[in-house]
Amino acid sequence: MLKRAVVTGIGVLTPVGNNLEEFWTNLTDGKSGVGPITRFDTEGYTSKIAAEVKNFDPADYIDRKEARRMDRFTQFAVASTGMAVENAGLNIEKLNRARCGVILGSGVGGIETMEQQHRILLERGPGRISPFFIPMMISNMGSGQISIHYGLRGFNVTTTSACASSTNAIGDAFKLIQRGQADLMISGGTEAPVTSLAVAGFCSMKALSTRNDDPAGASRPFEAGRDGFVIGEGAVILVLEEMQHALDRGANILAEIIGYGASCDAYHITAPDPEGTGAASAMRMALDDAGLAPDKVDYINAHGTSTPLGDKLETLAIKEVFGEHAAKLAISSTKSMTGHLLGSAGGLEAAVCALSITRGVIPPTINMDHPDPECDLDYVPNNARQKVVDAALTNSFGFGGHNATLIFQRFSF
């Protein structure tokens, strides 16, 4: 018999808040975390804006010496995990740590360290490369450092499926618990891609918004004037537990995870399937996995990146899966405020789903001044909405055609 998996803790470091309450308040107030890039000189860049984490000092969360041996994406992961562990009320010493694991998602890993060390190689030669270069740069070090920090000896891996990475991570962690292979999993995503090379690459693709004179208004999913996504950074970590494990320790259960679907477009390296077939398949798989009828879903946190093609095709896929119920769904893209955290986006949006259930509020899609006629569903424009949410679905779609969907519901026996 399959086990049940619940969410008992959330930790966040995001462009709109470095703790859970600040994050949620700013999201529901419709506050944008986008501004001019401060992490490097943007002279010559077509896009000069990003959603950066503000006022982050790793020494506030991690031993200073240890932090110097971590890339920024790993620092984010370890710091957010500390907040998630505290939020879950976990006593690590009382856990069977052989049955506690970590699965994180990260699309680009330690790209900042890669850039720094490459400059050193070119300017000073191979003998000056740091011995910590490789363990700082590799994408699995976020999950590795969390396990080292807490002594978690269970299943440990990092998923890399572009912007679906952390949705896949949470889905895989859910399945481990469901199969009885883990009591507790730390899962979510971490990403620190606001670097000179990464932003230059996305600029070259013409994927980023160039609304540099209006940073707060640049990310505008489903809106007629959208011109590309805004790159973001941060980490969001969820504590997932087997239901009885959580109940036995008196945990506060925020939501239950009940469905996971994943597919591939098998179409193009960056463009989505023009019929939305892969996205629709992932949603159907998640609904089937949950045993949930489409009309039981109250809220969708959309992938909604603010790209001309992606938003239109996600709308098409939602209509295909939900039929007449699509018009009754509340749908929002929190990327309108947080920007796009790439491989960490799904973790953030999974947290939003859990919080919408437990707090009865749906964050808005801001910057919806002129809705796109081809995006004609209810995107909760500009203002948060009070609503009882019993079941919430979140989508993530990534370069390479990766699609992933998770479903959360209100917990009950």
Q: Which residues are catalytic?
A: 163, 303, 340
CA angle 184, 189, 195 (to 5 degrees): 155
CA atoms in the 13 A half-sphere facing the CB of 31: 13
Given the DSSP bridges, would you call strands 361-362 and 385-386 parallel, antiparallel or unpaired? antiparallel
Provide the 10 A C-beta neighbour count for residue 127.
7
Amino acid letter, residue 74: T
Helix (H) or strand (E) holding 342: none
Identity of the amino acid at 96: N
Q: Which tokens go with 379?
A: 């995107």
Q: Is 278 helix (H, G, I), strand (E, B) or coil?
A: helix
DSSP class of residue 344 equals G
The helix (H) or strand (E) run that includes residue 332 is strand 330-332
> Could you give the residue ranges of the DSSP H alpha helices within 63-130?
64-68, 72-88, 111-124
Going by the DSSP 8-state scheme, the letter that residue 126 receives in this structure is G
**CB–CB of 209/230 below 8 Å?**
yes
Cα–Cα distance measured from residue 122 to residue 382, given in angstroms and rounded to the nearest whole number: 48
Tokens coding 258 = 């009940």
Asked if 138 and 193 touch (Cβ cutoff 8 Å), the reply is no
CA dihedral sign, ordered 171, 334, 281, 208: negative
**DSSP state for residue 17 in the 8-state scheme:** B
* Residue 40 exposure: Cα atoms within 13 Å on the Cβ side: 17
**Of 321, 312, 353, which is closest to residue 334 (Cα–Cα)?**
353
- Measured distance CA(369)–CA(382) in Å, rounded: 9
Amino acid at 279: A
